[in-house]
Structure 1
Amino acid sequence: MQNDIRFLRADHYPDLTDTVDYAYAAVVTAPRTVFTAGACPLDADGGTVALGDYAGQARQVVRNLEAALAGAGASLTDVVKTTVYVASARQDDLVAAWEVVRAAFGDHDAPSTLLGVAALGYTGQLVEVEAVAVAR
Structure 2
Amino acid sequence: MKSVSTTNAPQAIGPYSQGIIANGFFFSSGQIPLTPEGELVEGDIVAQTNQVFKNLKAVLEAAGLSLKNVVKTTVFLSDMNDFAAMNEVYEANFGDHKPARSAVEVARLPKDVKVEIEVIAVFE
- The answer to whether the aligner puts 1:102 opposite 2:94 as a matched pair is no
Q: Show the counterpart of 2:115.
A: 127
The one of 69, 80, 91 equivalent to 2:71 is: 80
The alignment yields a C-alpha RMSD, in angstroms, of: 1.4
If you compute each CA radius of gyration, which structure gives the higher value, 1 or 2? 1
Question: CA, structure 1 residues 53+71, in 2 after alignment: closer, same or farther (shift >3 Å)?
Answer: same
Q: Residues 1-12 of structure 1 correspond to what in structure 2 (within 5 A)?
A: 5-8=1-4, 12=5
Q: Residues 1-136 of structure 1 correspond to what in structure 2 (within 5 A)?
A: 5-8=1-4, 12-18=5-11, 20-21=13-14, 22-28=16-22, 30=23, 32-49=24-41, 51-90=42-81, 93-122=82-111, 124-136=112-124
Give the distance between the partners of 1:86 and 1:102, measured in 2 at CA: 16
Give the distance between the partners of 2:62 and 2:13, measured in 1 at CA: 16
Give the distance between the partners of 2:12 and 2:28, measured in 1 at CA: 17
Other structure's SS at 1:128 match: strand
Tell whether the 8 Å contact from 2:80 to 2:104 is kept in structure 1 after alignment: no
Deviates more, 1:13-22 or 1:52-61: 13-22
Report the TM-score when normalising by structure 2.
Answer: 0.91
> 1:106 is aligned with what amino acid?
G
Other structure's SS at 1:131 match: strand
> 2:97 is aligned with what amino acid?
H
Tell whether the 8 Å contact from 1:25 to 1:68 is kept in structure 2 after alignment: yes
Q: CA deviation at 1:18?
A: 2.8
Tell whether the 8 Å contact from 1:94 to 1:116 is kept in structure 2 after alignment: no
Report the TM-score when normalising by structure 1.
Answer: 0.84
Identity across aligned pairs (percent)? 35
Other structure's SS at 1:129 match: strand
Tell whether the 8 Å contact from 2:68 to 2:97 is kept in structure 1 after alignment: yes
